Amino acid sequence: MINISLPDGSVRQYESSVTPMEIAQSISEGLARNVISAIVNDNQVEVTTPITTDATIKLLTWNDEMGKKAFWHSSAHLLAQAILEFYPNAKLTIGPAIEKGFYYDVDFGEDKLTEADFAKIEKAMLENAKKKAEFKLYSVSKAEALETYKDNEYKYELISNLTDGDITFCTHDNFTDLCRGGHIPNTGIVKAAKILSVAGAYWRGDEKNKMLTRVYGITFPKQKDLTEYLELLEEAKKRDHRKLGKELGLFAFSEKVGAGLPLWLPKGASLRRKLENFLLKQQTKLGYEMVVTPHIGQKELYVTSGHYAKYGADSFQPIKTPNEGEEFLLKPMNCPHHCEIYKTSQWSYRDLPKRYAEFGTVYRYEQSGELHGLTRVRGFTQDDAHIFCTPDQLLEEFKKVIDLVLYVFKNLGFDNYSAQISLRDPENKEKYIGSDENWAKAEQAIITAADDKGLSTVVEYGEAAFYGPKLDFMVKDALGRQWQLGTIQVDYNLPERFDLTYVGADNEKHRPVMIHRAPFGSMERFIAILLENTAGNLPLWLTPDLYTILPISEKYVEYGEKVLNLLAEEEINGLIDSRNEKTGKKIRDAEINKIPFMLVIGEKEAENGTVSVRRHGEGDLGEMTIEEFIAFMKEQIKLK
């Protein structure tokens, strides 16, 4: 007999071999009908995989994240099968499941897949799915695998790096692929399919390799689910920060300036400045001191910090000066500069903590295929700060930073978030710097602080920074997509590498602990998510133009400018639309530009010293005197 432990803690006994499907059937027929995959001893397997020893098991349905992963990974096989039906000379590479759906990277050779081909691919996928073909995983020798893919250099390369005895193929219907497993029972479960897009992707993400075609798709067990998802995608297109940024005149990109280097237009600069002032005001209350550091530093600075080893080979290359052997780097992080600021004085334990903050721009070379609007750029500004404290102060300081992050989220309307404790990979420690002892202390400090603040957390191994563990705040936007924004990190390593010290109560030198923190994460990504979360309808206190004055004819422009000046004196900023256009068009344009208030003025308003107020998305609010409108706006901004 073998013992099978279930997630609820119960244990069931079975004969010497049992499959996940048989376990599901022994629990209930309803579960058996819905189970599509399983996790056995932390490994995802098919429901037909024999279990021959004591094990823990989790049975997965479509409602489980890992169940969807198996569903979408299996669907990638269906996609690849359909592609080969129409493009038999295409070379397949890899086809993983992703957060929403799956993709397959394909070398089409002389052929080209376009949007016009999507429908026939989808039709073929569903016709093949109706065959209810089982996914069958089986082992092959390395020699056999290499022979099978001798004409596919991509698969051949993958197989060459695998160990003989650990190589498996998966077959369904007339299609076979190199695969590690984790499939649904049969193709019949797939009822709806959609090819979403195609894009370029370098083989293995290396720009030196050939550009492949990445085909994105998604499938569902019900047509209704696909319909709802496509409606969500349409809403996402409306909320795309790249579209909104252009429409609202916030930022732009220039090929001459360079890919991934955003240009902030006046309205976007105003938005950034308001966000910075909001955080600056709160930081000042909490004892932070603002500093400013250069955009470059000597290469040796980043060698000392470890950033050159981490980013050097794959980032912007060193800047050489006329002096032989002298090299500078665009800074990839602000922390080495702040360490050097700390070293300008000798501190006592009575002086700590020291909290240095900076809106510092850093540079990292992201590959062109990975750039995406403001969310993935090559130059970005962090709302960065570094706290140097004694070990005894660490826990309290960390909790204060948690409070600051939550203060930011609350005021910006990010209510749907989770906290992720990002620890180092215990099986791959060479990726990190520092001693096991320091890592253990840093990790425990984060776990304790998060627990003390009552945060609901998940632990992710392998997601730590190379110098220390992190508490990352994962925010879900209005469409349910998850983004990492705020981050807090504990670092025992950089103080050692920079030989930072303070004099303790015993009059001896001691090593401070360093906290890295960025509540926004980066100004670029934060603004992108803010735009998409609000669909461009920003909180009033962040909106660059609060109103637009709409004279109904040219003879009321002078009165409109008088109103504009009166409001500007009260720091209520807006603009005047003095174009020779019909009032209806001006209102429509103001609605499109998401300007919160429209002040229509004509003969009556000019005579009475009033404005007729309209609100974006709501309509008329009635006539107000200038004084009434000023009081109204101040109250609205205060409420927001």
Q: In what order do the strands lie in the sheet with 482-491?
A: 289-290, 354-363, 379-389, 513-518, 482-491, 470-476, 417-423, 457-461
Q: Just list the catalytic residues.
A: 335, 364, 382, 384, 386, 470, 516
- CA 205/CA 442 separation, integer angstroms: 33
Q: Are 182 and 73 in contact (CB under 8 A)?
A: yes
Burial of 495 (0-12, 13-18, 19+ CB in 10 A): buried
Closest Cα partner for 495 from 516, 511, 508? 511
Q: Is 241 annotated as ligand-binding?
A: no
Q: Parallel, antiparallel, or unpaired for β 347-348 and 502-503? A: parallel
616 marked ligand binding residue: no
Beta bridge partners of 3: 13
* The total number of residues written for the chain in this structure: 640
Q: What are phi and psi of 243, to 5 degrees?
A: -65, -45
Structure tokens at 571: 């720091």
CA 207 to chain centre: 23
Alpha helices in 149-222, H assignment, sequence order: 153-160
Q: Of all helices (H) and strands (E), which one includes residue 328?
A: strand 327-330
Kindly state the tokens that stand for 147.
Answer: 């022979």
| Residues 391, 439: Cα–Cα separation, whole Å | 14
Rg (CA), the chain: 29
Closest CA to 597 of 569, 562, 559, 635: 635
Query: Binding site annotation covers 338?
Result: no
Q: Is the dihedral of CA 199, 204, 208, 210 positive or negative?
A: negative
Q: Residue 601 carries which side chain, given as an amino acid letter?
A: I
Would you call the peptide bond into 551 cis, given omega within 30 degrees of 0 as the criterion?
no
CB atoms within 10 A of CB 456: 8
Q: Judge whether 100 and 118 are in contact, CB under 8 Å.
A: no
Q: How far apart are CA 232 and CA 194, in angstroms?
A: 14
Cβ distance 451 to 459 under 8 Å?
A: no
Q: Is 380 helix (H, G, I), strand (E, B) or coil?
A: strand
Residue 374: how many CB atoms within 10 A of its CB?
24
| DSSP track, 251-300 | EE--TTT-TT--EE-HHHHHHHHHHHHHHHHHHHHTT-EE----SEEEHH
Task: Say how many C-beta atoms besides its own lie within 10 A of residue 396's C-beta.
Answer: 12
The binding site consists of: 335, 386, 516
Question: Which parts are annotated binding residues for Zn(2+)?
Answer: 335, 386, 516
